[in-house]
Structure 1
Amino acid sequence: MSDLRSLLAAAPLLATLDAEEREQYLKDGSFHVLAFGQNDIVHLVGETCSRLDIILEGEILIEHSDEEGRQITIAEFYSGDVLSGNLVFSQNPIYPMTVTARQPSRILLISRDRLLDLFTANRAFLQSYLAYVSDHTMILGDRIKHYTGRSLRERLQSYLLFEYKKQASRILRLPMTKKALADKVGVQRTSLSRELAKMRADGLLLFDAETIELLDPFFRM
């Protein structure tokens, strides 16, 4: 894994601190780093949030189990991202979903007391924290709304519309494998292929191994 201090300096929120400050907080224990292996659980649903997590390295997932026990990936977090920023000072600081490591990862834990001290002493840190939490709380809320309590077709439609807006084209080049897409919407690959075939038969789209083309009826669903 990469050098710890380089990882700390690369995280946008931590870049508002001097190197000496980061070093001191590591020494006094108010900054603490934990390592997680692939598929390790970082936080369980129902767990109390008592600290801020910053992803230094790896990939972290927020996952939801639907009524049939299938795991749906709600959001992914990467190096530099902040996890639990919207929970740590909540009146009900409970993780609503399970958080897992998709790959070997390192996470910096910041105690709530140290956070409060930093907000008071470092205006740039506070501004960076508030901007990140505001932006990502809205995004995460939208994703939870899109991916829970909805049919597979509705989840696929939400994802494909997102890619349509992102790529500005009806012919979408998939940024992931079909297996990864199936994991994202919480089904087996065979179920995804079956639903795509049904949507093609319904005249909604065309697809091959690498692309999906959205047809006019798709936008009237």
Structure 2
Amino acid sequence: MDYQFLSQTMLFSGESPEEIKEMLSCLGAVTRSYGKGEIIYHAGECVHSMGLVLSGNVQIESDDVWGNHSVLDDITPGFFFAETYASLSKEPLMVNVVSAAAKTEVLFLNIGRLLTTCTNSCTHHNRLIHNLFFISARKNLLLSRRIFHTTPKSIRGRLLSYLSAQSAAANSLDFTIPFNRQQLADYLNVDRSALSAELSKMQREGLLTTERNHFTLCEDPLES
């Protein structure tokens, strides 16, 4: 276990690697590995542990009864998933949690143990609870951003909203997004073919250039 890496995550922020090592057994920590496309949590099940991605990446996905598929979030190393459902242990998951890498390692923590003080690590629980609240607030912000990006009715409007936000986050007109074309289409809740066609049209108009998941936005298309 890379305790130095864990000390840099949001949940364990403020804790030393030595302190984290002592705390993990108290928190019911278990590490598991998954292959690409493997389901970590199924929609409909109730969970008691939240997961910290150690390596690879995890996607939060939704499928309706008609087979429509949406990617709600992409979880990269150092970030958590299922903390809300684990806190409400009788509330069944509305989404699937899926490994999106050839190999994904996840550290699972029993949230009941985290939220209940104990003689072994009670001095750290207040900090952990504070950090967990921060993580939940961040997740709410990410979901709000997706709602913002999918509010425009047109595919171009959704692309402009998402790509503008990615550019601002990178502080550059040149940036790489965490999605391939299908994942981007799922995230924006649009058809992949229509998305690709719109991107091609935007390139012809000089609004941007793109190769795979790398984008360069053009401030003045008239000069491109």
Fold match by TM threshold 0.5: yes
Distance, in Å, in 2 between the alignment partners of 1:150 and 1:46 is: 30
- Please name the residue that 1:166 is paired with: 169
Structure 1 window deviating more from structure 2 (35-44 vs 16-25): it is 16-25
2:142 to 139, 144, 150: 139
Q: 1:73/1:67 Cα in 2 relative to 1: closer, same or farther (>3 Å)? A: same
Aligned AA for 1:143? R
Aligned AA for 1:195? E
Distance, in Å, in 1 between the alignment partners of 2:68 and 2:217 is: 24
Name the TM-score, length of structure 1 as normaliser: 0.72
Unaligned 5+ residue runs, structure 1? 217-221
Q: 1:147/1:99 Cα in 2 relative to 1: closer, same or farther (>3 Å)? A: farther
Q: State the percentage of identical aligned residues.
A: 22
Q: Is the 8 A contact 2:185 2:192 kept in 1?
A: no
Q: Is the 8 A contact 2:60 2:98 kept in 1?
A: yes
Unaligned 5+ residue runs, structure 2? none
- Please name the residue that 2:127 is paired with: 124
Q: Is the 8 A contact 2:60 2:97 kept in 1?
A: yes
Q: 1:48/1:150 Cα in 2 relative to 1: closer, same or farther (>3 Å)? A: farther
Aligned AA for 1:183? Q
Q: 1:165/1:8 Cα in 2 relative to 1: closer, same or farther (>3 Å)? A: closer
- Please name the residue that 2:51 is paired with: 53
Aligned ranges 1:70-219 → 2 under 5 Å: 71-90=69-88, 93-103=91-101, 104-118=103-117, 121=122, 122-144=125-147, 146-147=149-150, 152-167=155-170, 172-176=173-177, 180-186=180-186, 190-199=193-202, 205-207=207-209, 209=211, 210-213=215-218
Distance, in Å, in 1 between the alignment partners of 2:82 and 2:105 is: 15
Q: 1:125/1:114 Cα in 2 relative to 1: closer, same or farther (>3 Å)? A: same
Aligned AA for 1:136? K
Deviation at 1:68, TM superposition (A): 7.0
- Please name the residue that 1:62 is paired with: 60
What's the RMSD between the two structures over aligned residues?
A: 3.7
Distance, in Å, in 1 between the alignment partners of 2:12 and 2:23 is: 8
Q: Is the 8 A contact 1:31 1:111 kept in 2?
A: yes
Count of residue pairs the alignment pairs up = 208
Q: 1:206/1:6 Cα in 2 relative to 1: closer, same or farther (>3 Å)? A: closer
Q: 1:71/1:118 Cα in 2 relative to 1: closer, same or farther (>3 Å)? A: farther
